[in-house]
A and B are shown apart, each in its own frame.
Chain A
Amino acid sequence: MMLRAEWIKLRTVPGWLAGLVVAALLVVALGCLFASGTSMSCMAGNREVACPPPPTNAAGLGVDDKFAFTNQALDGNGSITAKVGALTSTITYPPPNHNQIVPGILPWSKAGLIVKNGTGPGADYAAVLLTGAHGVRMQSAFTHDQAAPGFASAKEAWLRLSRSGDNITGYVSADGTTWQKIDTVRLDGLPAAVRIGLFVTSPGGLTVDEKPQGGHAVAVRFTQSTAEFSQVSPASGWNDTLVGYGDYRTGWEQTHPPGHTESGGVITVSGSGDIAPLTDGVAVERILTGVFLGLLPLIVVAVLWGTAEFRHRMIATTLVAMPHPARVAGVKALVAWLASLIAGLVAVGVTLPVTTRILHANGVILLPVPWPTTVRVAVGTALLLSLAGVFAYGMGILLRRAVPAVVAVTALLVAPPILAVTSVLPPDLGAWLLRLTPAAAFAIQQSIPAYPQLSLPQTTFDGYYPLSPWAGLAVLALYAVAAVAAGTRRLRREAS
């Protein structure tokens, strides 16, 4: 009854309806603009080709999966042991002069033992490994990373990986006699026949230039890492597979080919690439950036939805019809939520398929993420808009004047991410704003989480929000509830 009355109220002011439509259209239009202005091409050697889709892990996450794999078959249960050390890297043409190939240490170069379901990129695996500067770790599924306590700065170590059914356990030892378990991971549905072996990989050498005006420029260069494996068990039967390698070889690789050599019981493996989640590329939320603009008309409508009751003394008519101020405010908040949610769902529901088609035509491959993540980003964006509507309505009935309310909501919700991402604010301040203001909710759009085991910068400037997606959305929800509650309190005090 009250809900229907307030719903009729909302949709019978033509300007409000138009505002909601414009909000949705802006999201769609900006998404299309972004999609049609984006294209992608890749080099295969010196040939330009359409970009191949990146490999994905079992969950559908896009991954880097390139490494030199000195491997053999393992049927059923078994284990592999080796002493790993002398992990060094070659970095091609680093700054300042970019004219030399130099040896160095890459913090996240990796050398170790791996069990993998075949040798195809993206196939399930578990590994114990030594890194350039982050000690000994056990990793799996491309995202799971567990440091070995006590080996945080190890430069060499004994490693062991053993399989028992679907369970893979990683061990580390300083001397090859006393073993310490790092972790056991479960690889569901792992077949009896798997590949097991030694691997070396080497992510691009990064330099991050902090710009004086804020933000940073990231440069990446080719690297290759080499490690020595001794006391290897099983001792023989090793063959090289270059997982994820194309036909192209850099100049360095032409004289220093990836793979293994063996001399005096020591197996030396060289390789480059990475075994890691893919975070660099066009993330799905990029096509929903129009939300920032679409929010503006939505905020105006939702604020007016609250303030119009007071500006035109409508509230007297409303309260004579429904003499329960708190319930009226609650129902109006619900209507604001529903209307904004519908606008949001329509906006996202149109933008995603349309832009996906345009991007596909332009050869753009979005960063693959598991489908629940895509659903979360899509539904979360609509929820963000819906909560923004409630927040704006709440500020409207709290302040009772449209202009201050619109300014306040925009300043709290829309401005912080724009200021933080464009580096107008110092990074720390920007990050705090994205924790404490309702703008934290934009975290719901972040499809790629931050991974500590990556060397790429992952600041707000790079699109990483300080709070987790749902925690961020909850911050906005709290603001919305608080604003509506405060506005309702004012209404109850003054109107009855």
Chain B
Amino acid sequence: MTATIEVDGLRKRFGPAIALDGMTFAVRPGHVTGFVGPNGAGKSTTLRMIVGLDRPDAGTATIGGRRYAQLTRPMRHAGALLDPHALHPARSGRNHLRWLAASQDLPVGRVDEVLALTGLADVGRRAAGGYSLGMRQRLGVAAALLGDPPVLLLDEPFNGLDPTGIVWMRGLLRDLAAEGRAVLVSSHLMSELQDVAGHVVVVGRGRVIVSAATDQLVGKYSSLETAYLSLTDGVGGIR
């Protein structure tokens, strides 16, 4: 299996608003790909379409050449952190991972592995409703890693993390890429991405503005932030 995400000509209209307008890019294995753009540029919609939560009007999104819904035990092919709050507050973090593990036919041992990996071993048996945003992000990452997938999709993983958490997350993303995974990370934190992302996809108004190596952009604009600001100037996502 080639561990890639291929997004090809995605279009989506929500009523009068055009959310995606021919979104096309690919995420290659072995490095972190930053996915940046203004609010409403279509980042989250694209991520949701990759995992089959939204249906495109046109275009395709595939993982290793197959649509997400066609994958059996999909979390072994792609792990996604989309919404850290998408859990039942009365269920413990560990139990949240347990049902996910069962759904992918994974042993309970894997649950404890990812809890340890994300630093949640001590709080795993507490109700997830009491978790801080940072802890929920970690739990979301734990869920994404549960199936040891070659592809990862992380929507704003730095949100709510404390400085220690940010450092941890950076290291984790680097490690995951170094293991040969395709890692797609959407974020507003350009400085964080500049350090870890080898490749950046800049989007606006539902389509890709630039897809380039980070070094290339930094070389041209001095920093990723400057690159982002000049590239997205005047393409505010909300119309």
Contacts and interface: CB of A to CB of B under 8 A. Distances in A.
Interface of A: 1-2, 4-6, 8-9, 12-15, 308, 312-317, 319-324, 495-496
Contact of A5 (B91, B103, B143): B103
Summarize A's interface: helix, strand, loop or mixed: helix
B100 A321 contact: yes
10 contacts: A4-B103, A8-B99, A8-B102, A12-B96, A317-B87, A317-B100, A319-B52, A320-B51, A320-B80, A321-B104
Contacts of B82: 316, 320
B69 A15 contact: no
The B interface is mostly helix, strand or loop, or mixed, namely: loop
Nearest to A12: B95
B91 A323 contact: no
B110 interface: no
Interface string B170-214: 000000000000000000000000000000000000000000000
Most buried by B among A312, A313, A321: A321
B55 A8 contact: no
Interface string B62-99: 00000011010111000010110111111110011011
A8 B87 contact: no
B53 A5 contact: no
A496 B87 CA distance: 19
A319 B51 CA distance: 9
Interface in B28-67: 48, 51-55
A12 B99 contact: yes
A323 B88 contact: no
B94 to A, nearest CB: 9
A315 B51 CA distance: 13
Contacts of A15: 90
Nearest to B69: A323
B3 to A, nearest CB: 18
A495 B90 CA distance: 24
Contacts of A323: 51-52, 68-69, 71, 74
B162 interface: no
B53 A8 contact: no
Nearest to A495: B53
Given A317-B87, A320-B82, 16 more contacts: A4-B102, A13-B88, A13-B90, A14-B90, A308-B88, A312-B87, A312-B88, A313-B85, A313-B86, A315-B86, A317-B100, A321-B74, A322-B103, A323-B68, A323-B71, A496-B53
B99 A9 contact: yes
Contacts of A13: 88, 90-91
A46 B90 CA distance: 64
B105 to A, nearest CB: 5
A2 B74 CA distance: 12
For B89, B96, B103, which residue has the most chain A Cβ atoms within 10 angstroms? B103
Nearest to B128: A312
Contacts of B48: 316
Enumerate the 4 nearest inter-chain pairs by beta-carbon distance, A residue then B residue, closest first. Answer: A5-B103, A12-B95, A8-B99, A5-B102
A312 B85 contact: yes
A319 B143 CA distance: 13
Contacts of B95: 8, 12
A321 B86 contact: no
A13 B91 CA distance: 5
Contacts of B74: 320-321, 323
A5 B86 contact: no
A5 B87 contact: no
A321 B88 contact: no
A281 B104 CA distance: 56
A420 to B, nearest CB: 37
Contacts of A316: 48, 53, 82-83, 86
A312 B99 contact: no
A486 B104 CA distance: 27
A393 to B, nearest CB: 15
A6 B55 contact: no
A234 to B, nearest CB: 79
The listed residue with most B CB atoms (<10 A of its CB), out of A8, A308, A317, is A317
Nearest to A9: B99
A320 B104 CA distance: 11
B86 A312 contact: yes
Contacts of B102: 1, 4-5, 8
Nearest to B146: A321
A144 B98 CA distance: 59
Given A319-B53, A495-B53, A12 B92 contact: yes
Contacts of A324: 69
